[in-house]
């Protein structure tokens, strides 16, 4: 991997670089899995991948310190459980690589207040956390831009909710390059066609989120009983017809999207297969598909969590390798901006 991430001049067969991060703001939910995590595994064959646990992003919302520390471990174990290979993919914690925050400060000086205030996630999060509208919530997209640009990433696998942030990342990189030359790589989004936006089970016009109340999302560690119970309670509508219409039937459409993403069925097939059946049938079928998907991941997860020493080693190795890559970008950026040489 280290060799694979060398510069193109050193290695003409260099693969495109992928960066993606997930916040340890709770155990991951089904939307994180469908929208992001499961694609991570598919991508590691064809790309040089960096998969980060973005703990600095998570503290834009108050976290319980002991729980946050534990979640970083748990997410690394979950990354491994879905099949990420630390030999091929670089897995590490964001706060272990200081280049993220250094670059974020510099890029913040090339980002306009208006751009940040326009971000949908900023508006959503300030509404949700009215008691703690901190500067980090506003500057979150600058740190995300730094995460991506620090490693000259070409592609960023994201759910549809992060598209706006990625567009801002591109704007910041282009603005920086217009001043200093071709320093930063302008990344492209990689958005899955199905399942890019899985919605809350109880409020299907809002996206599913791991920091929302427990019954609104399916955790990747939920037991089969919990999955069945939550899906049984999922909000639908009174029409009693299984057809996809995200506008007027958001609950049923969300269940159909989950089923499609996990089974490979098309929306048309589901409409045919469930014609004349009640919502109870659809909910049970979705529950069984979820349980079948999660079972092997959960048993792998338990295996990785039982060896803390091995997890520590993976996290430390990942950080050391990420630091050495980040240092190269930071050396160029510092020089271009005119900071005093060290
Ligand atoms: N509901 C979703 N459907 C599809 N993709 C989703 N993602 C998140 N929710 C959905 C994708 O998961 C990746 C990691 O997300 P994150 O944890 O870094 O941040 P987030 O988007 O804010 O996720 P949550 O679960 O909603 O976290 P909280 O509750 O802490 O805000 C991203 O690629 C995201 O698109």
> Given pLDDT bands bounded at 50, 70 and 90, which one contains residue 139?
very high
> Given pLDDT bands bounded at 50, 70 and 90, which one contains residue 230?
very high
d(CA 170, CA 148): 10
Which residue shows structure tokens 């909710």? 161
Cβ contact 209:30 at 8 Å: no
pLDDT score of 195: 61
| Residue nearest atom 35 of ligand 1, based on CA coordinates | 159
Structure-block tokens of residue 184: 């930063």
* pLDDT above 70: residue 2: no
For the stretch 279-331, pLDDT in tens is: 999 999 999 999 999 999 999 999 999 999 999 999 999 999 999 999 999 99
Structure-block tokens of residue 257: 């999207």
Q: What is the DSSP letter of 19?
A: E
| Residue nearest atom 8 of ligand 1, based on CA coordinates | 32
Q: What is the DSSP string of 106-136?
A: HHHTTS-HHHHHT-HHHHHHHHHTTT---HH
pLDDT score of 11: 55
d(CA 125, CA 123): 6
pLDDT score of 12: 53
d(CA 75, CA 157): 17
Q: Which helix (H) or strand (E) holds 230?
A: helix 224-232
Q: What is the arithmetic mean of pLDDT over 138-162?
A: 93
| Residue nearest atom 23 of ligand 1, based on CA coordinates | 209
| Residue nearest atom 5 of ligand 1, based on CA coordinates | 35
Instruction: Report which of 162, 161, 194 is spatially closest to residue 34, judged by C-alpha positions.
Output: 194
**Which residues sit opposite 219 in a β-bridge?**
29
> Given pLDDT bands bounded at 50, 70 and 90, which one contains residue 8?
very low
Is any ligand 1 atom within 6 A of the Cβ of residue 111? no
Span 17-186+308-337: which CATH code? Answer: 3.40.50.620
Mean pLDDT of the chain: 93
* pLDDT above 90: residue 111: yes
What's the CA-to-centroid distance between 165 and ligand 1, angstroms? 12
Catalytic residues: 125, 207, 210
Is any ligand 1 atom within 6 A of the Cβ of residue 35? yes
* pLDDT above 70: residue 342: yes
Is any ligand 1 atom within 6 A of the Cβ of residue 209? yes
> Given pLDDT bands bounded at 50, 70 and 90, which one contains residue 42?
confident
Q: What is the arithmetic mean of pLDDT over 246-265?
A: 96
Q: What is the arithmetic mean of pLDDT over 72-93?
A: 96
> Given pLDDT bands bounded at 50, 70 and 90, which one contains residue 36?
confident
Q: What is the arithmetic mean of pLDDT over 65-70?
A: 96
Q: What is the DSSP letter of 20?
A: E
What's the CA-to-centroid distance between 209 and ligand 1, angstroms? 6
Q: What φ, ψ does residue 53 adopt, rounded to 5°?
A: -95, 110
| Residue nearest atom 22 of ligand 1, based on CA coordinates | 209
Give the C-alpha distances (Å, rounded to integers) separating 26 from 39, 68, 98, 276: 20, 8, 23, 38
What's the CA-to-centroid distance between 159 and ligand 1, angstroms? 7
- For the chain, list the strands marked E by DSSP: 17-22, 48-53, 89-93, 155-157, 188-190
* pLDDT above 70: residue 103: yes
Which residue shows structure tokens 């959503």? 124
Strand-pair category, 155-157 with 188-190: parallel
Indicate the domain borders of the chain. Answer: 17-186+308-337, 214-301
d(CA 86, CA 314): 7
| Predicted TM-score of the model (pTM) | 0.88
Q: In this structure, which CATH number among 3.40.1010.20, 1.10.240.10, 3.40.50.720, 3.50.50.100 belongs to the domain 214-301?
A: 1.10.240.10
3-state SS, residue 190: strand
* pLDDT above 60: residue 38: yes
Is any ligand 1 atom within 6 A of the Cβ of residue 23? yes
**Which residues sit opposite 90 in a β-bridge?**
50
pLDDT score of 77: 97
> Given pLDDT bands bounded at 50, 70 and 90, which one contains residue 14?
confident
* pLDDT above 80: residue 1: no
Q: What is the arithmetic mean of pLDDT over 94-109?
A: 98
Is any ligand 1 atom within 6 A of the Cβ of residue 29? yes
For the stretch 164-189, pLDDT in tens is: 999 999 999 999 999 999 999 999 99
**Cβ neighbours of residue 236 closer than 8 Å, sequence gap 6 or more:** 249, 251, 252, 255, 279
The residue ranking higher by pLDDT, 217 or 12, is 217
pLDDT score of 4: 44
Direct distance between the N- and C-terminal alpha carbons of the chain, in angstroms, rounded to an integer: 28
């Amino acid at each position: 991997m280290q060799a694979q991430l060398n510069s193109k001049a050193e290695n003409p067969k260099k693969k495109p670089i992928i960066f993606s991060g997930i916040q340890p703001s709770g155990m991951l939910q089904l939307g994180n899995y469908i929208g992001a995590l499961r694609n991570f595994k598919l991508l590691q064959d064809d790309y040089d991948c960096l998969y980060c646990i973005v703990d600095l992003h998570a503290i834009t919302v108050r976290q319980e310190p002991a729980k946050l520390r534990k979640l970083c471990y748990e997410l690394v174990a979950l990354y491994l459980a879905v099949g990420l290979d630390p030999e091929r993919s670089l897995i590490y914690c964001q706060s272990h690589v200081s280049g993220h925050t250094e670059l974020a400060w510099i890029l913040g000086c090339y980002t306009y207040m208006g751009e940040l205030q326009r971000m949908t996630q900023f508006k959503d999060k300030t509404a949700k956390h009215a008691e703690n509208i901190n500067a980090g919530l506003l500057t979150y997209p600058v740190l995300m831009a730094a995460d991506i640009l620090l490693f000259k990433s070409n592609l960023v696998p994201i759910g549809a909710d992060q598209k706006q942030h990625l567009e801002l990342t591109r704007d910041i990189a282009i603005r920086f390059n217009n001043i200093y030359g071709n320093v930063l790589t302008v990344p492209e989004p990689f958005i899955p066609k199905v399942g890019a936006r899985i919605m809350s089970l109880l409020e299907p016009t809002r996206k599913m989120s791991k920091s929302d109340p427990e019954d609104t999302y399916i955790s990747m560690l939920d037991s089969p009983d919990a999955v069945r119970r939550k899906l049984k309670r999922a909000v639908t509508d009174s029409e009693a017809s299984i057809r996809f219409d995200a506008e007027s039937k958001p609950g049923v459409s969300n269940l159909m999207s989950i089923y499609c993403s996990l089974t490979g069925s098309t929306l048309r097939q589901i409409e045919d297969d469930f014609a004349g059946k009640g919502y109870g049938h659809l909910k049970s079928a979705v529950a069984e598909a979820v349980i079948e998907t999660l079972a092997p991941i959960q048993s792998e997860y338990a295996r990785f969590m039982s060896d803390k020493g091995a997890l520590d080693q993976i996290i430390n190795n990942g950080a050391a390798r990420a630091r050495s890559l980040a240092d190269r970008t930071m050396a160029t950026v510092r020089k271009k901006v005119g900071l005093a040489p060290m």
